[in-house]
Amino acid sequence: MTLLRIENLHKQFGALAATDNLSLEVNHGELHALIGPNGAGKTTLISQLSGSLRPDSGQIQFDGRNLLQVPEATRPSLGLVRSFQITSIFPEFSALENVALVLQSQQGHSFRFWKAVRDDFELRTRAEEYLKWAGLDREMAIPAYALAYGQQRQLELAMALALEPKLLLLDEPMAGIGAEESLQVVKLLQQLKGKITMLLIEHDMDAVFAVADRVSVLVYGRIIATDTPSEIRENAEVRQAYLGEHEISVAN
């Protein structure tokens, strides 16, 4: 069953077609990876899905709805949630406050002017659960800016998850972190697999081939192949266009 259907999506920046008549389907429950060389238009695609960019033409159906008619800030409440390539958290808030803010927004509007958030026991308990899941039990009270980079990525995941997404758009969750922390994130993704549908954009090929159910390859704004990881590895066109002859060893 299809959760997300993108049809003939097009986005032009001047002479550059960053998204070039792109069509893609993501099924319920799968972990769908999107790979492609730098400048292939991966983040542009995510931005159109999350609503921060408007496509020039094409259709996006999410969970049976026409997504293009839904404003950006309303999309998370439909279950479409993104994480960011560049760490995007609230630096002065503690880890706990970061997640609590997400939970607060998930519970509807925040036009509540009187009760202090820190006295909201229920909110606090739930925030703690998400942080424990992300492996940040001991860092809850630390301001987010003071966390290690890898921990900030974990926090970012906890925040995305606290929104209880149907589809999680992960924009390079492993960008810029060390091998050990990378492994930690892969573990988290494997735990989520099957429970939440994910569209994963990632440069780390080992990680992609380890966790993905299906892989789509994006080159110059077009999908040139969608298949299982092992088929993608063998696909001649993909090797030619994306992996490059001398990088085959990496893919293997």
71 belongs to the binding site for other proteins (CB under 8 A): yes
Phi then psi dihedrals of residue 142, to 5 deg: -85, 135
Map residue 174 onto helix, strand or coil: coil
Nearer to other proteins (CB atom), residue 9 or residue 160: 160
Take residue 16 and report the two structure tokens written for it. 């550059």
Residue with tokens 């990680």: 207
Does residue number 194 form part of the binding site for other proteins (CB under 8 A)? no
Distance of CA 177 to the CA centre of its chain: 16
Cβ-Cβ contacts under 8 Å for 116 (sequence gap 6 or more): none
**52 counts as binding other proteins under rule CB under 8 A:** yes
Q: What is the smallest separation between the CB atom of 83 and other proteins, expressed in angstroms? A: 8
Site membership for other proteins, residue 82 (CB under 8 A): yes
Residue 132 CA to residue 155 CA, distance in Å, equals 10
Q: What is the DSSP secondary-structure string of 59-102?
A: EEEETTEEGGGS-GGGHHHHTEEE--SS----TTSBHHHHHHHH
Stretch 95-124 residues interacting with other proteins (CB under 8 A): 96-97, 100-102, 104-106, 110-118, 124
Interface with other proteins by CB under 8 A: which range of 19-27, 32-40, 82-90, 222-230?
A: 82-90
CB of 58 to other proteins, least distance (A): 22
User: For residue 55, what are the contacts with CB-CB under 8 A and spacing of at least 6?
Assistant: 9, 10, 11, 19, 48, 68
CB of 152 to other proteins, least distance (A): 12
Q: Does 50 bind other proteins (CB under 8 A)?
A: yes
| Residue 65 near other proteins by CB under 8 A | no
Position 167 contacts other proteins (CB under 8 A):
no
* Contact residues for other proteins, defined by CB under 8 A: 50, 52, 71-77, 81-82, 84, 88-94, 96-97, 100-102, 104-106, 110-118, 124, 140-143, 159, 163
